[in-house]
Amino acid sequence: MFEQLELHADLCNALGDMGFTAPTSIQSSVIPKAMEGRDILASAPTGTGKTAAFLLPAAQFLLDFPREYHGATRILILSPTRELAIQTYEHALEITQHTNIVCGVITGGINYGTDRDTLAKNLDILVATPGRLFEHIEKESFDCRDIEVMILDEADRMLDMGFRSIVNQIASEARWRKQSMLFSATLEGPGIAQFSKDLLVNPESITVDPSRKEKAKIHQWYHLADDASHKYQLLKHILSEQAESAIVFVKTRERLQQLKDRLASDDIDVCWLQGEMPQDKRNQAMSRFKNGEVKILLATDVAARGIDVDDISHVINFDMPRTSDVYLHRIGRTGRAGAKGTAISIVEAHDFAMLGRIARYIKEVIKPRVIDELRPKHKAPTIKKPKKSTLKKNTKKGGKKSSGPKKKGRGKNITSRKQDNG
């Protein structure tokens, strides 16, 4: 029960309006510690309610310590992408709907005039992407000196996107703050430890593991494709026969454009999100997808980060991600809030090394499936449990650099696999 967390009645009422009856596990772990004023280093899988885990204590802080004078922003939330910033802002509006707390959002792709109006508003809570905010700091159109709480959402993605230095600079501008919180889907990867050292003081570290129940909700399998055209046929089949609503992930903007054109020529209606897209177009695409007008959303990873759309039945990896944690982020788009979800990867032989790494990372077997009329000509190699020899072989195969003389046994194996690849 949220009441047990000693949140203000106005916040509890808002939660009631939003249909939140009980806190999620990350919320019940984070909120009391954050309300003590501790710095927080928190990780929990995508879709487990991290946003409210930091918005609620932030709002409670503003209610406990009301403003004494008109001034600049008191709570700063940094988000890696525009979509995520806007979603977090909307979430903040909902949570603070019965209070006088003033919220604003600043992201790239919005015109500077709008930013000026936003910043003129004596904001209590500002959600911002680091790049645009830093422009304002440099132009002295934003003042960090009144910031009391700084929150970093999706810190792992911030690092991936190269925001480390900008975020550190923003943090040093906001050096009079009383509290910092860092949220991430994972704390793995070399960067996060240093990042949190730079930003947090003696943090309370909170990690919530994906419960077995949570994971079991997402059914995962893969289809083996012989080549690019077979891959496309499989996708088309899945989209038209199986998926009610789907996000299809591709690895680059160029691939996204190609796929979109191809699907359009087959009369399959899609919308898409990619980086460097005008804000109004992105919003348009998102709302067409969210209101069900279009069932299929094509996206690159950068563009899709943090998107929270309910009821996505399928996540389809048309291109495999480059790392296992990105896979986890992708499939986290489905199976939310107790719904059953499906994640399908369409792989060619050269994707098997990645598929194996992912299976080891998520500690689950990803099984193959076959669509009768689209059977692959080749047999799917089985993905085995962690085994040093398999690991090595796969790595070797990918590395074109090794120019040394081939060792006999291994070389043979590699050659035959290569032929399989066509």
Structure tokens at 231: 């891959």
In degrees and rounded to multiples of 5, residue 119 shows phi and psi of -70, -20
Q: How far is the CB of 407 from ligand ADP (least distance, A)?
A: 46
Report the C-alpha gap between 121 and 353 in whole angstroms.
52
Cβ proximity of 131 and 108 under 8 Å: yes
CA 397 to chain CA centroid, Å, is 30
Round to whole Å and give the CA distance between 65 and 81: 30
Q: Which stretch binds Mg ion (CB under 5 A): 34-42, 48-56, 338-346, 377-385?
A: 48-56
Provide the CA 188 distance to its chain's centre, in angstroms: 15
Query: Whole-number minimum distance, CB 18 to ligand ADP, in Å?
Result: 7
- Work out which of 33, 38, 50, 82 binds Mg ion, going by CB under 5 A: 50
DSSP string computed for 105-166: EE-TTS-HHHHHHHHTT--SEEEE-HHHHHHHHHTT-S--TT--EEEESSHHHHHHTT-HHH
Residue 78, contacted partner among ligand ADP, Mg ion, none, CB below 5-8 A by kind:
none
Measured from the CB atom, the residue of 235 and 273 that comes closer to ligand ADP is 273
29 binds, among Mg ion, ligand ADP, none (CB under 5 to 8 A by kind): none
Check: CB of residue 272 under 8 Å from CB of residue 256: yes
Q: Using CB under 6 A as the criterion, what x/- string covers residues 18-57 for binding ligand ADP?
A: --x--xx--x----------------x-xxxxxxx-----
Compute the least distance from the CB of residue 185 to ligand ADP, in Å. Answer: 7
Q: Whole-number minimum distance, CB 11 to ligand ADP, in Å? A: 12
Cβ closest to Mg ion, residue 183 vs residue 222:
183
C-alpha–C-alpha distance, residues 364 and 300, integer Å: 25
| Helix, coil or strand: residue 16 | helix
Q: Which is nearer to ligand ADP, 33 or 397 (CB)?
A: 33
Task: Look at residues 335, 390, 338, 345 and name the one whose alpha carbon lies nearest to residue 367.
Answer: 345
List for the chain the helix, strand, coil content (%; round to 5): 45, 15, 40
The option from Mg ion, ligand ADP, none interacting with 319 (CB < 5 to 8 A, set by class) reads none
Q: Which of ligand ADP, Mg ion, none has residue 49 at its interface (CB below 5 to 8 Å by kind)?
A: ligand ADP
Residue 118 interacting partner from Mg ion, ligand ADP, none (CB closer than 5 to 8 Å by kind): none
Do the beta carbons of residue 50 and residue 44 sit within 8 Å?
yes
318 contact choice in ligand ADP, Mg ion, none (CB below 5 to 8 Å, kind-dependent)? none
Q: Which segment (17-25, 32-40, 128-136, 213-221) binds ligand ADP by CB under 6 A? A: 17-25
Residues in 144-163 at the binding interface with ligand ADP, rule: CB under 6 A: none
Q: Choose among ligand ADP, Mg ion, none what residue 52 binds, the Cβ cut-off being 5 to 8 Å by kind.
A: ligand ADP
Work out what residue 394 binds among ligand ADP, Mg ion, none; the CB cut-off runs from 5 to 8 Å by kind. none
* Comparison of 20 and 318: residue with beta carbon closer to ligand ADP: 20
**Which helix (DSSP H) or strand (DSSP E) does residue 42 occupy?**
strand 40-43
Q: Residue 93 or residue 371: which is nearer to ligand ADP going by CB?
A: 93
The site map against ligand ADP for 383-422 (x = CB under 6 A) is: ----------------------------------------
Residue 375 region, left (φ>0) first, then alpha (ψ -120 to 50), else beta? beta
Q: Which is nearer to Mg ion, 282 or 305 (CB)?
A: 305
Give residues 257-276 in contact with Mg ion (rule: CB under 5 A): none
Q: Which does 24 bind (CB under 5 to 8 A by kind): Mg ion, ligand ADP, none?
A: ligand ADP
- Radius of gyration for the chain, computed over Cα atoms and rounded to the nearest angstrom: 23
Q: Is 335 in the site for ligand ADP (CB under 6 A)?
A: no
Unique residue bearing structure tokens 């299976």: 359
Cβ 199 to ligand ADP, closest distance in Å?
19
> 24 vs 345, which CB is nearer to ligand ADP?
24
Q: What does 297-365 look like in DSSP terms, one character per residue?
A: EEE-HHHHTT---TT--EEEESS--SSHHHHHHHHTTSS-TT--EEEEEEE-GGGHHHHHHHHHHHTSP
Interacting residues toward ligand ADP by CB under 6 A: 20, 23-24, 27, 44, 46-52, 308, 336-337
Interacting residues toward Mg ion by CB under 5 A: 50
